[in-house]
Structure 1
Amino acid sequence: MKQVVFFLALGSILFGAQYSIIISKKVPITSLTTGQVRDIFLQKRHSLGDQKIIPLNLVGQEPSRIAFENTVLGMDRDRLNAYWVKQHFQGNSPPITQPSFESIKAFVQNVEGAIGYVPSSMVDNSVKAIYEF
């Protein structure tokens, strides 16, 4: 698994960002910092200004999810699981999961404030990219 993350990170360095954090075009946010993205996906931040945010994640052990967790959240799977166990007892839940990038993109297009990540190649004029990794 560490090899997969290494090759994804290496590919990102050599060929630019492979994934984009996307949000609805209706939302007036144009960019986010790594810290803001981390806070949103760790449920430490539930809004940006007046906009309620709904983070979306891929299900399971997808290589892109692992790359996201390691690169953007700065946590491996064991540490992240321990984090969510603690959060559960404080009444917090992890982001909503979706089975595919297509479903993440459709959710973002149809639900204002939804935020998720897709391959950069999927970004078109139906969504807005606000962060890349």
Structure 2
Amino acid sequence: MPIRRLFLLGIVFWLLAQPGAALHAELAVVVNARCGVAAMTRNEVINIFFGRSRQFFNGVEAQPVDMLDSHPDRARFYYKLLGKDLSEVNAYWSRQVFSGRGQPPVKVGSSEEVLKWVTTHPGGIGFIEASKADARVRVVLEMAH
């Protein structure tokens, strides 16, 4: 019996040592369900989030929304999208603003606020955990682990 308990205890500790599912949650780029965009490439998403493109391929004005620096999904998004950390992304936007070439996307503090922004702006585009996407938005790019 003690060996069985030790075995079960070992399994419990092993499970506790595994990284949490939330740390590995898939991110999804979502758009307003009525904007007419069904899928996007990684480069198209980069161009919109970095102000290089102002419209989707169908001519609808893109209205990107970002997360606050303090939100963990923001760092994961830019790392998965470009392999860059937030200091590099923020430095890019500082240069753009200083030179008058552009303004960064509006920032909000939660996935629910991203969903609200995307659904209330015809060209809304943002990123959230894929599991939080619902019928109000269309997933156009999934960013796996």
Q: Which residue of structure 2 lines up, in the alignment, with residue 60 of structure 1?
A: 69
Match in the other structure for 1:24: 32
CA deviation profile, 1:105-127 (whole Å, cap 9, x unmatched): 01111110010011111112121
Instruction: State percent identity of aligned pairs.
Output: 24
Taking the aligned partners of 1:78 and 1:106, their CA distance within structure 2 comes to 27
TM-score, L = length of structure 2: 0.77
Instruction: Give distance in 1, aligned partners of 2:73 and 2:50.
Output: 17
The residue number in structure 1 matching 2:92 is 83
Match of 1:125 among 135, 138, 141: 135
CA contact (8 A) 2:30 2:128 kept: yes
Q: For structure 2, list consecutive stretches of 5 or more residues without a partner in the other structure.
A: 1-19
What displacement does 1:78 show?
2.1
1:43 to 40, 45, 51: 51
> After superposition, what is the alpha-carbon deviation per residue over 1:60-107, rounded to whole angstroms, capped at 9, x for unaligned?
232211011111133212221221121111331111101111011011
- When residues 94 and 73 of structure 1 are mapped into structure 2, their CA distance, relative to the original with a 3 A threshold, is farther
* Alignment partner, residue 34 of structure 1: 42
Answer yes or no: is the 8 Å Cα contact 2:69–2:86 preserved in 1: no
CA distance in 2, matches of 1:121, 1:11: 12
TM-score for both structures, normalised by structure 1: 0.83
After superposing on structure 2, the runs of 4+ consecutive aligned residues of structure 1 that deviate more than 2 Å are none
Equivalenced residue count is 122
Task: Out of 96-105 and 82-91, give the one that drifted further.
Answer: 82-91
* Partner Cα separation in structure 2 for residue 32 and residue 45 of structure 1: 13
| Aligned equivalent of 2:117, options 99, 102, 107 | 107
Shift of 1:50: 1.2
Q: In structure 1, list runs of 5 or more residues that go unmatched.
A: 1-6, 13-17
Bigger drift between 117-126 and 37-46 goes to 117-126
2:71–2:110 contact (8 Å) kept in structure 1: no
Structure label with greater radius of gyration: 2
**Cα deviations by residue, 1:34-68 (Å, 9 ceiling, x for unpaired):** 11111110111100131000111111232211011
**One-letter amino acid of the counterpart of residue 26, structure 1:** R
